[in-house]
Amino acid sequence: MKAEAAAERWFAAAAAVLAVAAAVTLGAVGAGRRGAIPGALLGLVLAPALHRLLTRRGRRRRAILAAPFPEEWRHALFRRYGHYRRLPAEERRRFEDDVRLFLGDTRITGVEVEATDELRLLVAASAVTVSLGWPEFNWDRAREVLLYPSDFGRDYSFEHGEVAGQAHPWGTVILSVPSLRHSFLRPDDGYHVGLHEFTHLLDLDGGRFDGLPGGLPRARAAEWHALAEEEMQRMRDARSWLDPYGGKDSSEFLAVVVEAFFELPLELRRRHPELYALLREWLAQDPALWDEAAASA
Protein backbone atom coordinates (compact mmCIF):
# COMPACT_ATOMS: atom_id res chain seq x y z
CA MET A 1 0.00 0.00 0.00
CA LYS A 2 1.10 3.56 -0.65
CA ALA A 3 0.58 6.57 1.55
CA GLU A 4 -1.16 8.36 -1.29
CA ALA A 5 -2.14 7.12 -4.73
CA ALA A 6 -1.42 9.23 -7.81
CA ALA A 7 -5.15 9.34 -8.53
CA GLU A 8 -5.82 10.87 -5.09
CA ARG A 9 -3.22 13.61 -5.67
CA TRP A 10 -4.63 14.34 -9.11
CA PHE A 11 -8.18 14.50 -7.80
CA ALA A 12 -7.24 16.89 -5.00
CA ALA A 13 -5.42 19.22 -7.42
CA ALA A 14 -8.25 19.09 -9.95
CA ALA A 15 -10.84 19.81 -7.26
CA ALA A 16 -8.88 22.87 -6.11
CA VAL A 17 -8.69 24.23 -9.67
CA LEU A 18 -12.39 23.61 -10.18
CA ALA A 19 -13.17 25.43 -6.94
CA VAL A 20 -11.44 28.55 -8.26
CA ALA A 21 -13.19 28.25 -11.62
CA ALA A 22 -16.57 27.76 -9.96
CA ALA A 23 -16.11 30.79 -7.70
CA VAL A 24 -15.14 32.98 -10.67
CA THR A 25 -18.11 31.74 -12.67
CA LEU A 26 -20.59 32.30 -9.85
CA GLY A 27 -19.22 35.77 -9.24
CA ALA A 28 -19.50 36.66 -12.91
CA VAL A 29 -23.03 35.30 -13.13
CA GLY A 30 -24.09 37.25 -10.06
CA ALA A 31 -22.41 40.59 -10.77
CA GLY A 32 -20.84 40.46 -14.20
CA ARG A 33 -17.16 41.28 -14.70
CA ARG A 34 -16.96 43.11 -11.37
CA GLY A 35 -18.18 39.95 -9.62
CA ALA A 36 -15.53 37.77 -11.25
CA ILE A 37 -12.70 39.42 -9.29
CA PRO A 38 -14.08 38.80 -5.79
CA GLY A 39 -15.14 35.36 -7.01
CA ALA A 40 -11.57 34.64 -7.99
CA LEU A 41 -10.32 35.87 -4.62
CA LEU A 42 -12.84 33.66 -2.84
CA GLY A 43 -11.78 30.71 -4.99
CA LEU A 44 -8.13 31.33 -4.14
CA VAL A 45 -9.04 31.18 -0.46
CA LEU A 46 -11.22 28.08 -0.76
CA ALA A 47 -8.97 26.10 -3.10
CA PRO A 48 -6.07 25.57 -0.62
CA ALA A 49 -8.54 24.63 2.12
CA LEU A 50 -10.24 22.11 -0.16
CA HIS A 51 -6.89 20.72 -1.30
CA ARG A 52 -5.76 20.36 2.30
CA LEU A 53 -8.97 18.57 3.21
CA LEU A 54 -8.72 16.14 0.31
CA THR A 55 -5.04 15.35 0.99
CA ARG A 56 -5.51 14.95 4.76
CA ARG A 57 -5.43 11.13 4.59
CA GLY A 58 -2.23 11.15 2.56
CA ARG A 59 -0.50 13.44 5.05
CA ARG A 60 -1.63 11.30 7.96
CA ARG A 61 -0.41 8.15 6.23
CA ARG A 62 2.96 9.69 5.38
CA ALA A 63 3.36 10.62 9.03
CA ILE A 64 2.62 7.01 10.00
CA LEU A 65 5.30 5.73 7.64
CA ALA A 66 7.82 8.37 8.73
CA ALA A 67 7.94 6.85 12.22
CA PRO A 68 9.99 3.67 12.72
CA PHE A 69 8.14 0.37 12.83
CA PRO A 70 7.67 -0.52 16.53
CA GLU A 71 10.22 -3.08 17.60
CA GLU A 72 7.71 -4.82 19.85
CA TRP A 73 5.46 -5.36 16.81
CA ARG A 74 8.38 -6.75 14.83
CA HIS A 75 9.27 -9.17 17.63
CA ALA A 76 5.62 -10.21 18.00
CA LEU A 77 5.26 -10.90 14.27
CA PHE A 78 8.51 -12.82 14.16
CA ARG A 79 7.43 -14.91 17.13
CA ARG A 80 3.79 -15.42 16.14
CA TYR A 81 3.68 -15.53 12.35
CA GLY A 82 5.56 -18.05 10.25
CA HIS A 83 4.58 -16.26 7.04
CA TYR A 84 6.27 -13.07 8.23
CA ARG A 85 9.46 -15.01 8.94
CA ARG A 86 9.51 -16.53 5.43
CA LEU A 87 9.21 -13.19 3.64
CA PRO A 88 12.30 -11.86 1.82
CA ALA A 89 13.71 -8.62 3.25
CA GLU A 90 12.06 -6.24 0.79
CA GLU A 91 8.65 -7.91 1.10
CA ARG A 92 8.98 -7.90 4.89
CA ARG A 93 9.61 -4.15 4.86
CA ARG A 94 6.51 -3.57 2.71
CA PHE A 95 4.54 -5.91 4.96
CA GLU A 96 5.43 -3.75 7.97
CA ASP A 97 4.42 -0.58 6.11
CA ASP A 98 1.11 -2.14 5.06
CA VAL A 99 0.40 -3.27 8.62
CA ARG A 100 0.84 0.30 9.89
CA LEU A 101 -1.34 1.78 7.17
CA PHE A 102 -4.07 -0.81 7.73
CA LEU A 103 -4.11 -0.07 11.46
CA GLY A 104 -4.16 3.66 10.78
CA ASP A 105 -7.13 3.35 8.41
CA THR A 106 -9.29 0.57 9.84
CA ARG A 107 -11.50 0.63 12.91
CA ILE A 108 -11.06 -2.53 15.00
CA THR A 109 -13.63 -2.91 17.78
CA GLY A 110 -13.85 -5.49 20.53
CA VAL A 111 -17.29 -6.85 21.43
CA GLU A 112 -17.15 -8.15 25.00
CA VAL A 113 -13.39 -8.45 24.50
CA GLU A 114 -10.62 -5.84 24.53
CA ALA A 115 -9.10 -4.99 21.14
CA THR A 116 -5.52 -5.18 22.40
CA ASP A 117 -2.46 -4.21 20.37
CA GLU A 118 -1.71 -7.91 19.97
CA LEU A 119 -5.12 -8.65 18.45
CA ARG A 120 -5.04 -5.55 16.25
CA LEU A 121 -1.65 -6.68 14.95
CA LEU A 122 -2.97 -10.16 14.13
CA VAL A 123 -5.93 -8.66 12.27
CA ALA A 124 -3.71 -6.37 10.23
CA ALA A 125 -1.25 -9.17 9.48
CA SER A 126 -4.12 -11.31 8.17
CA ALA A 127 -5.33 -8.61 5.80
CA VAL A 128 -2.00 -7.47 4.38
CA THR A 129 -0.78 -11.02 3.85
CA VAL A 130 -3.37 -11.35 1.12
CA SER A 131 -2.84 -7.91 -0.44
CA LEU A 132 0.95 -7.58 -0.14
CA GLY A 133 1.57 -8.13 -3.85
CA TRP A 134 -0.57 -5.11 -4.84
CA PRO A 135 1.37 -1.90 -4.09
CA GLU A 136 -1.53 0.38 -5.13
CA PHE A 137 -4.17 -1.45 -3.09
CA ASN A 138 -5.85 0.04 -0.03
CA TRP A 139 -8.28 -1.74 2.28
CA ASP A 140 -10.97 0.92 1.88
CA ARG A 141 -13.58 -1.83 1.59
CA ALA A 142 -12.81 -2.96 5.17
CA ARG A 143 -15.09 -0.55 7.05
CA GLU A 144 -14.72 -2.16 10.47
CA VAL A 145 -13.41 -5.34 12.07
CA LEU A 146 -15.38 -6.67 15.03
CA LEU A 147 -13.62 -9.00 17.46
CA TYR A 148 -15.87 -11.52 19.23
CA PRO A 149 -14.82 -13.36 22.41
CA SER A 150 -15.72 -16.76 20.94
CA ASP A 151 -17.14 -18.47 17.91
CA PHE A 152 -20.73 -17.34 17.41
CA GLY A 153 -24.08 -18.44 16.07
CA ARG A 154 -25.92 -17.47 12.92
CA ASP A 155 -27.90 -15.03 15.07
CA TYR A 156 -24.58 -13.51 16.34
CA SER A 157 -25.12 -14.82 19.85
CA PHE A 158 -22.38 -16.66 21.75
CA GLU A 159 -24.57 -19.54 22.91
CA HIS A 160 -23.80 -21.73 19.89
CA GLY A 161 -20.31 -21.55 18.42
CA GLU A 162 -21.03 -22.34 14.78
CA VAL A 163 -19.07 -19.59 13.00
CA ALA A 164 -15.46 -18.46 13.46
CA GLY A 165 -15.62 -15.48 11.12
CA GLN A 166 -17.83 -13.62 8.71
CA ALA A 167 -17.40 -10.94 6.05
CA HIS A 168 -20.26 -8.71 4.96
CA PRO A 169 -20.64 -7.00 1.57
CA TRP A 170 -20.84 -3.58 3.27
CA GLY A 171 -17.33 -4.06 4.65
CA THR A 172 -17.74 -5.37 8.20
CA VAL A 173 -15.56 -8.35 9.12
CA ILE A 174 -16.26 -10.37 12.27
CA LEU A 175 -13.51 -12.56 13.74
CA SER A 176 -13.61 -14.90 16.72
CA VAL A 177 -10.61 -14.12 18.92
CA PRO A 178 -9.87 -17.76 19.89
CA SER A 179 -10.05 -18.83 16.22
CA LEU A 180 -7.84 -15.93 15.17
CA ARG A 181 -5.22 -16.84 17.75
CA HIS A 182 -5.42 -20.51 16.77
CA SER A 183 -4.83 -19.52 13.15
CA PHE A 184 -1.46 -18.01 14.06
CA LEU A 185 -0.61 -20.79 16.52
CA ARG A 186 -0.96 -23.46 13.80
CA PRO A 187 0.59 -21.94 10.65
CA ASP A 188 0.61 -25.10 8.52
CA ASP A 189 -2.81 -26.70 8.98
CA GLY A 190 -4.50 -24.97 6.03
CA TYR A 191 -6.86 -23.06 8.34
CA HIS A 192 -6.66 -19.32 8.93
CA VAL A 193 -9.85 -17.42 9.71
CA GLY A 194 -8.24 -14.03 9.07
CA LEU A 195 -6.99 -14.93 5.60
CA HIS A 196 -10.33 -16.56 4.86
CA GLU A 197 -12.52 -13.58 5.73
CA PHE A 198 -10.33 -10.93 4.13
CA THR A 199 -10.26 -13.00 0.95
CA HIS A 200 -14.05 -12.76 0.95
CA LEU A 201 -13.75 -8.96 0.93
CA LEU A 202 -11.41 -9.16 -2.06
CA ASP A 203 -13.99 -11.38 -3.75
CA LEU A 204 -16.65 -8.66 -3.78
CA ASP A 205 -17.94 -7.82 -7.25
CA GLY A 206 -20.86 -5.42 -7.48
CA GLY A 207 -21.85 -6.05 -3.86
CA ARG A 208 -21.80 -9.85 -4.04
CA PHE A 209 -19.24 -12.62 -3.57
CA ASP A 210 -18.66 -14.36 -6.92
CA GLY A 211 -15.68 -16.63 -6.19
CA LEU A 212 -13.56 -15.41 -9.10
CA PRO A 213 -10.12 -13.86 -8.53
CA GLY A 214 -10.68 -10.29 -9.69
CA GLY A 215 -8.60 -8.87 -12.51
CA LEU A 216 -7.62 -12.15 -14.17
CA PRO A 217 -7.85 -12.10 -17.97
CA ARG A 218 -11.01 -13.68 -19.35
CA ALA A 219 -9.27 -16.89 -20.43
CA ARG A 220 -7.54 -17.32 -17.08
CA ALA A 221 -10.80 -16.64 -15.20
CA ALA A 222 -12.48 -19.34 -17.29
CA GLU A 223 -9.63 -21.69 -16.41
CA TRP A 224 -10.12 -20.91 -12.71
CA HIS A 225 -13.85 -21.58 -12.96
CA ALA A 226 -13.32 -24.98 -14.58
CA LEU A 227 -10.68 -26.04 -12.05
CA ALA A 228 -12.81 -24.81 -9.15
CA GLU A 229 -15.90 -26.70 -10.29
CA GLU A 230 -13.91 -29.93 -10.60
CA GLU A 231 -12.22 -29.60 -7.20
CA MET A 232 -15.43 -28.52 -5.47
CA GLN A 233 -17.05 -31.74 -6.59
CA ARG A 234 -14.08 -33.66 -5.19
CA MET A 235 -14.57 -31.83 -1.89
CA ARG A 236 -18.23 -32.79 -1.79
CA ASP A 237 -17.28 -36.41 -2.48
CA ALA A 238 -14.60 -36.34 0.26
CA ARG A 239 -11.88 -36.95 -2.34
CA SER A 240 -9.96 -33.70 -1.88
CA TRP A 241 -7.14 -32.99 0.57
CA LEU A 242 -8.35 -29.39 0.81
CA ASP A 243 -10.82 -28.31 3.49
CA PRO A 244 -14.21 -29.70 2.39
CA TYR A 245 -15.84 -26.43 3.47
CA GLY A 246 -14.65 -25.08 0.13
CA GLY A 247 -17.20 -27.29 -1.60
CA LYS A 248 -20.06 -25.17 -0.24
CA ASP A 249 -19.89 -22.62 -3.07
CA SER A 250 -17.40 -20.83 -5.33
CA SER A 251 -16.75 -18.01 -2.86
CA GLU A 252 -15.88 -20.40 -0.02
CA PHE A 253 -13.72 -22.37 -2.43
CA LEU A 254 -11.66 -19.28 -3.24
CA ALA A 255 -11.19 -18.45 0.45
CA VAL A 256 -10.19 -22.03 1.33
CA VAL A 257 -7.65 -22.25 -1.49
CA VAL A 258 -6.12 -18.91 -0.50
CA GLU A 259 -5.68 -20.30 3.02
CA ALA A 260 -3.82 -23.28 1.55
CA PHE A 261 -1.80 -20.99 -0.74
CA PHE A 262 -0.24 -19.25 2.25
CA GLU A 263 -0.29 -22.04 4.83
CA LEU A 264 0.60 -25.06 2.63
CA PRO A 265 2.13 -23.51 -0.50
CA LEU A 266 4.50 -26.33 -1.43
CA GLU A 267 1.77 -28.95 -1.02
CA LEU A 268 -0.76 -26.89 -2.99
CA ARG A 269 1.74 -26.37 -5.79
CA ARG A 270 2.55 -30.08 -5.91
CA ARG A 271 -1.05 -31.31 -5.85
CA HIS A 272 -2.70 -28.49 -7.82
CA PRO A 273 -0.08 -26.68 -9.91
CA GLU A 274 -2.71 -24.99 -12.08
CA LEU A 275 -4.60 -23.56 -9.11
CA TYR A 276 -1.36 -22.47 -7.50
CA ALA A 277 -0.20 -20.74 -10.70
CA LEU A 278 -3.48 -18.84 -11.00
CA LEU A 279 -3.32 -17.65 -7.39
CA ARG A 280 0.34 -16.68 -7.83
CA GLU A 281 -0.68 -14.61 -10.85
CA TRP A 282 -3.66 -13.02 -9.09
CA LEU A 283 -1.98 -12.25 -5.75
CA ALA A 284 1.44 -11.46 -7.26
CA GLN A 285 3.13 -13.53 -4.56
CA ASP A 286 4.97 -16.87 -4.51
CA PRO A 287 5.14 -18.32 -0.97
CA ALA A 288 6.28 -21.73 -2.23
CA LEU A 289 9.36 -20.09 -3.73
CA TRP A 290 9.99 -18.28 -0.46
CA ASP A 291 9.72 -21.56 1.47
CA GLU A 292 12.22 -23.20 -0.88
CA ALA A 293 14.63 -20.28 -0.49
CA ALA A 294 14.33 -20.41 3.30
CA ALA A 295 14.94 -24.17 3.33
CA SER A 296 18.11 -23.86 1.24
CA ALA A 297 19.53 -20.87 3.15
Report pLDDT digits (tens) over 206-242.
678 889 998 889 999 999 999 999 999 999 999 999 9
Say yes or no to pLDDT of 3 above 50: yes
Say yes or no to pLDDT of 74 above 60: yes
| Inter-residue contact 39 to 25 (CB < 8 Å) | yes
**Mean of pLDDT values over 106-133:** 97
- Average pLDDT taken over every residue of the chain: 86
With a pLDDT cut of 90, the percent of the chain lying above it is 68
Phi and psi for 149 in degrees, rounded to 5? -75, -10
Q: What is the pLDDT of residue 6?
A: 55
Q: Which residue has the higher pLDDT, 24 or 215?
A: 215
Q: Which residue has the higher pLDDT, 232 or 50?
A: 232
Q: Which residue has the higher pLDDT, 136 or 97?
A: 97
- Taking only the tens place, the pLDDT of each residue in 53-72 is 555 667 778 888 999 999 99
Say yes or no to pLDDT of 188 above 70: yes
**Mean of pLDDT values over 24-36:** 49
The domain defined by 68-296 carries CATH number 3.40.390.10: yes
**pLDDT band for position 154 (50/70/90)?**
confident
Q: Where in the chain is the domain with CATH 3.40.390.10?
A: 68-296
